[in-house]
Chain A
Amino acid sequence: MLQAIQQKIDPTAGLPDVKAASEARSLLTVDQVTLRYKTPNLLITATEDVSFSVERSDRFVLLGPSGCGKSTLLKAVGGYMAPVSGSIHINGRPVKKPGADRMMVFQEFDQLLPWKTVLENVMFPLIVARKLPRREAEARAREYIDKVKLTRATDSYPHTLSGGMKQRVAIARGMAMQPDILLMDEPFAALDALTRRQMQDELLQLWEDTRFTVIFVTHSIAEAIKISNRILLLSPHPGRVKAEVINVDRARQDDGSAAALERDIHNLLFSESGHRE
Chain B
Amino acid sequence: MPSPQIILAADVTTNRQHTNVAEVEQRLGSLELILGISAVRKTVLIIVLAIIWQVYASYLDNPLLFPTLSDTLTTLYDRFVDGTLPSRIWTTLQVLITGYVAGTLLAAILTILAINTRIGTDFLETMTAMFNPLPAISLLPLALIWFGLGASSLVFVLIHSVLWAVALNTHAGFLGVSRTLRMVGGNYGLTGLSYVMRILVPAAFPSILTGLKIGWAFAWRTLIAAELVFGVSSGQGGLGWFIFENRNLLDIPAVFAGLLTVIIIGLIVENLVFQTIERHTIQKWGMKE
At the interface, yes or no: A103 with Cβ under 8 Å from chain B? yes
Asked, given contacts A113-B202, A114-B287, A158-B286, whether A128 binds B188 with beta carbons under 8 Å apart, the answer is yes
Distance of A103 Cα from B186 Cα, bound (Å): 10
Q: A108 and B178: CB pair below 8 A? A: yes
Q: Which of B180, B187, B205 has the most CB of A within 10 A?
A: B187
Q: B189 and A128: CB pair below 8 A? A: yes
Partner of A159, one of B199, B202, B281, B286: B286
At the interface, yes or no: B113 with Cβ under 8 Å from chain A? no
Q: In whole Å, how far is A251's beta carbon from the nearest beta carbon of chain B?
A: 25
* Those of B170-186 within 8 Å (CB) of chain A: 178, 180-181, 183-184, 186
Q: B187 and A100: CB pair below 8 A? A: yes
Partner of B188, one of A100, A115, A160: A100
Q: Which residue of A lies closest to B186 (CB)?
A: A98
* A residues in contact with B285, CB < 8 Å: 114-115, 157, 159
How many A residues are at the interface, by size bracket?
A: 20 to 34
At the interface, yes or no: B89 with Cβ under 8 Å from chain A? no
Partner of B187, one of A78, A108, A110, A157: A78
Distance of A115 Cα from B281 Cα, bound (Å): 8
* A residues in contact with B194, CB < 8 Å: 128
Q: In whole Å, how far is B134's beta carbon from the nearest beta carbon of chain A?
A: 32
Q: B189 and A98: CB pair below 8 A? A: yes
Asked, given contacts A98-B183, A128-B189, A128-B190, whether A157 binds B284 with beta carbons under 8 Å apart, the answer is yes
* A residues in contact with B199, CB < 8 Å: 113
* A residues in contact with B189, CB < 8 Å: 98-100, 128-129
Distance of A128 Cα from B284 Cα, bound (Å): 24
Distance of A115 Cα from B199 Cα, bound (Å): 10
* A residues in contact with B202, CB < 8 Å: 113, 115
Q: In whole Å, how far is A113's beta carbon from the nearest beta carbon of chain B?
A: 7
* B residues in contact with A80, CB < 8 Å: 183, 186
At the interface, yes or no: A184 with Cβ under 8 Å from chain B? no
Q: B286 and A103: CB pair below 8 A? A: no
Distance of A97 Cα from B191 Cα, bound (Å): 11
Q: A125 and B188: CB pair below 8 A? A: yes
Q: A110 and B180: CB pair below 8 A? A: yes
Distance of A97 Cα from B183 Cα, bound (Å): 11
At the interface, yes or no: B203 with Cβ under 8 Å from chain A? yes
At the interface, yes or no: B42 with Cβ under 8 Å from chain A? no
Q: Which residue of A lies closest to B281 (CB)?
A: A115
Q: In whole Å, how far is A73's beta carbon from the nearest beta carbon of chain B?
A: 15
Q: In whole Å, how far is A168's beta carbon from the nearest beta carbon of chain B?
A: 16
Interface string of B189-231 (1 = CB under 8 A from A): 1100010001100110100000000000000000000000000
* B residues in contact with A128, CB < 8 Å: 188-190, 194, 198
Partner of B178, one of A98, A110, A160: A110
* Those of A141-160 within 8 Å (CB) of chain B: 157-160
At the interface, yes or no: A111 with Cβ under 8 Å from chain B? yes
Distance of A160 Cα from B283 Cα, bound (Å): 12
* B residues in contact with A110, CB < 8 Å: 178, 180-181
Q: A157 and B184: CB pair below 8 A? A: no
Q: B188 and A124: CB pair below 8 A? A: yes
Distance of A102 Cα from B187 Cα, bound (Å): 8
At the interface, yes or no: A60 with Cβ under 8 Å from chain B? no
* B residues in contact with A115, CB < 8 Å: 202-203, 205, 281, 285, 287
At the interface, yes or no: A216 with Cβ under 8 Å from chain B? no
Distance of A104 Cα from B181 Cα, bound (Å): 11
Q: In whole Å, how far is A157's beta carbon from the nearest beta carbon of chain B?
A: 6
The chain B residues found within 8 Å of chain A, CB to CB, are 178, 180-181, 183-184, 186-190, 194, 198-199, 202-203, 205, 281, 284-287
Q: A103-B187, A129-B189 are in contact. List 14 more A-B contacts (CB 8 A).
A: A98-B187, A98-B189, A104-B184, A106-B183, A111-B181, A111-B184, A113-B199, A113-B203, A115-B203, A115-B205, A115-B281, A125-B188, A128-B189, A158-B286
Closest 6 CB pairs of A and B: A159-B286, A98-B186, A115-B202, A108-B180, A114-B285, A115-B285
Show 29 residue pairs from A and B whose CB-CB distance is below 8 angstroms, ordered by the A residue: A78-B187, A80-B183, A97-B186, A98-B186, A98-B187, A100-B188, A102-B187, A103-B187, A104-B183, A104-B187, A106-B183, A108-B178, A110-B178, A111-B181, A111-B184, A113-B184, A113-B202, A114-B285, A114-B286, A115-B285, A124-B188, A125-B187, A128-B188, A128-B194, A128-B198, A129-B189, A157-B285, A159-B286, A160-B286
